[in-house]
Structure 1
Amino acid sequence: MTMANIAPSALAALTRVRCQIFQTAYNPASIRTGAKYLRKRLRGPSMMKYYPPYEQLSLAKLMKQYPEWDVVDEDEQIRLRDLDQRKKRGKGAPKKAKSMEDSRRSKRKR
């Protein structure tokens, strides 16, 4: 029996059964599905292994790690000074409520 004698419908049925057995996608119209790229191995994990772990170096971390060094974080000093100035003008963060009676939400009428 040659290939010319086999009916196309029998070949299609054979292909459908083969796809069920081997758990592949049955795509008789050869439509692009992207299955090739979905089966492909992901690049992310190997790229993460290639590059060293990212740790952002900051002055605060250095100060915490080496307290014997007398290092001054000028940006933090400026931030704290500005915060004090805002608090003196009444522009700071509101005080935290100690109990439900102190809370503004509980005073609201519903």
Structure 2
Amino acid sequence: MASVAPSRLATLARLRSVIFQTSYNPTSQRTGAKYLKRRLRGPSMMDYYPQQLSFSAINKEFKGLDLIDEDEEQRLQDIVDKKKRGKGAPKKAKSAADSRRAQRKR
């Protein structure tokens, strides 16, 4: 039996990939196609975890209720108290000249 030339087999593989719309990878390099073809995890994760109700979402939906989130109010009060003691977050720089980096370079 006569064997088929390797160039003929390569041409056949290239033609097969065009016809069946697959990727032609004669050098067997890693392409990540396995991960790109895989089903996405996000939608099934969103279905698994139930939607959580929040006070802000309810207040947006029903304008007249004016519900008060006690945990959020406590958090805001804690921030005010920390700022009074000088333990709050630093102020953001309005420009590049106001930043701490610019002051350190001088």
How far apart in 2 are the matches of 1:100 and 1:26? 52
Verify the 8 A CA contact 1:19 1:25 in the aligned structure 2: no
Cα root mean square deviation, aligned: 4.2
TM-score, normalised on structure 1? 0.52
TM-score, normalised on structure 2? 0.54
Larger radius of gyration: 1
Counterpart position of 2:69? 73
Say if 2:74 is the partner of 1:85.
no
Verify the 8 A CA contact 1:86 1:92 in the aligned structure 2: yes
How far apart in 2 are the matches of 1:42 and 1:17? 29
Q: Indicate how the Cα distance of structure 1 residues 12 and 66 shifts in structure 2: closer, same or farther if over 3 A, else same.
A: same
Q: What count of residue pairs does the alignment treat as equivalent?
A: 94
How far apart in 1 are the matches of 2:6 and 2:105? 73
- Report how far residue 68 of structure 1 moved: 0.8
Q: Which stretches in structure 1 are left out of the alignment for 5+ residues?
A: none
The superposition leaves residues 47-70 of structure 1 with CA deviations (integer Å, 9 ceiling, x where unpaired) of 849x76x86532212122222113
Q: Which stretches in structure 2 are left out of the alignment for 5+ residues?
A: 18-23
How far apart in 1 are the matches of 2:71 and 2:84? 20
